[in-house]
Amino acid sequence: MRVLGIEGTAWAASAAVYDTETGDVSITSEAYQPDSGGLHPREAAEHMREAIPIVVEDALTGTDSIDAVAFSRGPGLGPCLRIAGTAARALALSLDVPLVGVNHMLAHAEIGRHRSGFDSPVCLNASGANAHVLCFRNGRYRVLGETMDTGIGNALDKFTRHVDWSHPGGPKIERAARDGEYTELPYVVTGMDFSFSGIMSAAKEAVDDGTRVEDVCCALQETTFAMLAEVAERALSLTSTTELVLGGGVGQNQRLQAMLGEMCEARGVEFFAPESRFLRDNAGMIAVLGAKMVRAGDTIAVADSRVDSGFRPDQVPVTWRARTETHSRASSGEGELQGAEAVVEIDGERVRKRRLPKSYRHPALDERLRRERVVLEARLTSDARRQGVPTPLVRDVDVREAQLTVERVGDADLRDVLDSKTGESHVRAVAGHLATLHEAGIAHGDPTTRNVRVGASGDDRTYLIDFGLGHYTGDVEDHAMDLHVFEQSLAGTATDPEPLRRGFEEGYAETGTEEVLERLRAIEGRGRYQ
């Protein structure tokens, strides 16, 4: 089978032919290059209108027949998507072959899985307008974490426009960073979500205040890429997955690949980054995923093929993969366990948690984060306990070694009992605990289903643990982010997350404020995929 893929989400007008028999993928692309500044939607659409016929004709040269046409249905810029979609419909009709509408971000994830041969990896997508971490569970890709404001590529481009560098900015930052020294910038991770806008503002101010641009570029890479690597590691830990793939144009950056490789090697995880032609926006990944969808019978009628500029990856029923999962989980027993950030040693009724140095992070950044987080975890764990929220009793804090010794609580992580009869009651308890914390001006910061302990012998309480990303705040946004993080972890670890999510929000409504739930809806509705 030969599938023609057409990509037209924003910058790249691209066409490709994928031959399923030989595995060959031929790609032709014409990227839009603005004269100055960033992307201009009208100019990008004009480029797409001119370039799509050229790249399609080139891709089809020497091809005897086409068995299906696949196109990027979204997310992306509406005018660009419509031009590419119109071309795909016309070709499918003229050739009398099936038409396939592909989610652009899932194509980034699937091309890494396809090229690596991995079974069910976590995927970190780092592209211009998007940044998120995905896992596959029960017939869909689940968004475990994502940017709360702008994509990583767009964020970097905003900085380079500030210093009058031409587009694309990412490669220029990478080159300048080689001659730079690390300088401190804000580091913003909440659970498995992240934010780049404050970092970029600080970077611009640093340059304006006289800091060498090379030093700021070094700091930008070290800070933003460490955030991406940390979030990917949290996702691997939450899902107990042993495979990671990288997607998106920013994934071409060698420093980012090196960070992810070091992180995975330390965890015993396999890591794969596709070659550059499959990382930047390209029609090859559209054709490859399109072929899988055709084989699964997942085609669309021309009348039903409207594009969707906000098309989220978790909206797509995954028809081309088996629903089974291969990774396993084990509850905490005696001995040493590895979490996302720390090694946990369980010795009877005591738990010693030591935050490990991360070789992928710059040493100064790593030391700052480890010390800050162990202090915060000790302080917030104790303060939450004083508010009546079940937490471990803190027995000792060693800031120098970034080590915390606490009471052992529970005999299972919440993620391991979500599908049991008691799962919903524990989820409702978490909602009540978070409402109590928020009333006291505390945000947990990382309330995932792995940071909740349940079910010690003769004790049905639900404990919150690991406050290392928490902080004191009365901000409704921070409180709503706690709910958002927990619901994302439900989606990634529960067999049927929707009833649990409803129960969680009902539980929060009983003692929390409606304003926080309203802000949660606003967070979910932000246009991060446009």
Each residue's pLDDT tens digit, 129-157: 888 999 999 899 999 999 989 899 999 99
Does 118-271 match 329-530 in CATH topology? no
164 labelled catalytic: no
Choose among 496, 184, 513, 237: nearest CA to 361: 184
Would you kindly state where each structural domain of the chain is located, as residue ranges? 2-111+278-315, 118-271, 329-530
CB neighbour list of residue 476: distance below 8 Å, 6 or more residues apart: 513, 515, 516, 519
Does the pTM exceed 0.75?
yes
Per-residue burial over 462-497, b = 16 or more CB atoms within 10 Å of its CB, e = otherwise: bbbbbbbbbeeeeebbbbbbbbbbbbbbbbbbbeeb
CA 406 to chain centre: 31
CATH architecture of 2-111+278-315: 2-Layer Sandwich (3.30)
pLDDT at 328: 44
pLDDT at 331: 46
pLDDT at 494: 95
pLDDT at 329: 47
pLDDT at 40: 81
pLDDT at 458: 60
| Domain 118-271, classified CATH 3.40.50.2300, yes or no | no
End-to-end CA distance of the chain: 32
Question: Which residue in the list 413, 446, 466, 482 is annotated as catalytic?
Answer: 446
pLDDT at 185: 97
Q: Which residues, given as ranges, of the chain have pLDDT below 70?
A: 35-37, 324-335, 456-458, 526-530
Residues 171 and 160: their CA atoms lie apart, in Å, by 10
CATH topology of domain 329-530: Transferase(Phosphotransferase); domain 1 (1.10.510)
Distances (CA, A) of 479 to 190, 204, 470: 11, 29, 11
pLDDT at 335: 65
pLDDT at 457: 58
